[in-house]
Structure 1
Amino acid sequence: MTIAPLDLAALLCSRLCHDVIGPVGAIINGLEVLDSNDAEMRGIAMDLIRKSAESASARLQFCRLAFGASGSLAAAIDTGHAETAAREIFNTDRTTLRWEAPRRLAPKNAVKLLLNLCLIAASAAPRGGVITAEMTGEGEDLFIRVGAVGGNVKLSQAVAHALSGSEPETIDAHSIQPYYATLLAGECGLTIDAVATAGAVTLTAKRAA
């Protein structure tokens, strides 16, 4: 099926709102607790507000690079900025991010594809694990690989189907992000290959032989 540009924009906006509504809601809850006369509760509320504001900011910075224009349509992106944005949300107590993409200016869609594959890998490891991100070469030699390893790593059938390039029966807020990743890959002249084994998922984007 072909998705209309307006529907694509609407579904991506829905996906982005889903990512930031959690920490923003936590900030609102914390502000309500600040009305309490209990000093201990006020301290807990301030800690919640601080951490939630940092989380919301990190997610917005990541989404700006992964989904936004971030400058002119033909602009390149510093992969160092992409690494910083990725570490802010993926390098946590439960997840370790191994960034193995040398710092350089790279085509915008290539960097966006790398970040989107990181997002897919992270969603395949809901209980944490190790995410490895690689990007080498340029032009026809551009190669991107993102892997997730962990005890509960699993790629859903819906995501695998969306990444395969097969025509989806429906596209909703859950499948729009991997679908968007395939659009980015196409713009880069690449094809995504998803391989899932016990406790591991590997997403590779490269030019078809």
Structure 2
Amino acid sequence: MTLVQLDALDLSALLCSRVCHDVISPVGAIVNGLEVLEDESDASMREFALELIAKSARQASARLQFARIAFGAAGSAGASIDLADAEKVSRGMFGDDKTQLAWSAPQALYPKNKVKLILNLVVIAQSAIPRGGLIDVTVTGDGEAPSIVLTAKGSHARIPPHVEALIAGTPENGTVDAHAILPFYAGLVARAAEMDVRFSITGDTVTIEALPTPKPATETVDEPPVSDEEPPETALA
């Protein structure tokens, strides 16, 4: 199938929509908490409002820090990102009572597109276990040719609908909207990082693998052997 190509303005608009969607809820909760503080004199209600504001502020901050690396430029072209930073923002984003995160990766700088791919795959792994569970992230190898494996284990685990086609850049309806932009963007990042992404499911566990794209074999052309003998002189007419 033909790869779908998004205009740069459409891509940026859809990604901005995704980021706004993620932060609207906690920011709205902060506003609600402030309104309670303004209107209520009851001590217990004011305490509840302060707890709501503090929790929502932490959520908004965590989601923005995650988005800065997962979707942002994260430095100039060719920049590297510390995997420890990727782990930190992932734990802030997903480590809660519903979803637990296990992380095993070298303490090293990796090319930014490979780190961005890991973070986007973490989001997809979370959507594979809608009722929560455990996401296990394992990264091995060096930054140029890493092996990235994520397992998402939980009740009613499933490969998210259409995600494989979206990552391949070939959505079934030939279009991409705000709901589909994240896996589509993950596919763009994967191709930029020269990585192949594959999905499999066994029981209540979804496995996502990202491996270096195989290099095409180069054909060698046999050249005729070079002779050390002098070429015969050409007779003059």
| C-alpha separation in 2, matches of 1:207 and 1:49 | 44
- 2:130·2:156 contact (CA, 8 Å) conserved in 1? yes
- Quote the offset at 1:29 in angstroms: 0.6
Alignment of 1:107-186 (within 5 A): 107-138=111-142, 141-168=145-172, 169-186=174-191
Runs in 1 of length 4+ with deviation above 4 angstroms?
A: none
Contact 1:164 1:193 in 2 (8 A): no
Check whether the contact 1:164–1:194 (CA below 8 A) recurs between aligned residues: no
Aligned equivalent of 2:70, options 42, 66, 69? 66
Structure 1 residue 26 corresponds to structure 2 residue 16? no
**Bigger helix share:** 1
CA contact (8 A) 2:34 2:49 kept: yes
Provide the secondary structure at the position in 1 that maps to 2:162: helix
The CA RMSD measured in Å over matched residues stands at: 1.4
Q: After TM superposition, give the deviation of residue 178 of structure 1 in Å.
A: 0.4
Higher alpha-carbon deviation: 78-87 or 165-174: 165-174
Q: Which structure 2 residue ranges, 5 or more long, are not aligned? A: 215-237
Query: Normalised by the size of structure 1, how large is the TM-score?
Result: 0.94
Structure 1 stretch displaced more, 187-196 or 103-112: 187-196
Identity %: 50
Partner of 1:16: 19
Q: Does 1:6 align with 2:9?
A: yes
Alpha-carbon shift at residue 139 of structure 1 (Å): 5.7
- Measured after TM superposition, the shift of residue 156 of structure 1 is 2.3
* Residue of structure 2 equivalent to 1:201: 206
TM-score relative to the length of structure 2: 0.84
CA distance in 2, matches of 1:159, 1:197: 17
Higher-Rg structure is 2
C-alpha distance 26-197 of structure 1, shift in aligned 2 (>3 A): same
Whole-Å separation in 2 of the counterparts to 1:151 and 1:167: 27
2:82 alignment partner, one of 58, 78, 83: 78
Note the alpha carbon deviations across 1:75-106, whole angstroms, 9 max, x for none. Answer: 10011011011111211112111101111000
Superposed displacement of residue 39, structure 1 = 1.3
Contact 2:33 2:49 in 1 (8 A): yes
Q: Which amino acid aligns with 2:73?
A: A
Matched to 1:66, the amino acid is: A
2:111, 2:144 within 8 Å by CA — same for their partners in 1? no
Residue 45 of structure 1 pairs with residue 49 of structure 2 = yes
Cα distance change of structure 1 residues 131 and 203 upon mapping to structure 2, 3 Å threshold? same
Asked whether the equivalents of residues 59 and 89 of structure 1 are also in contact (C-alpha less than 8 Å), the reply is yes
Residue type of the partner of 2:57? A
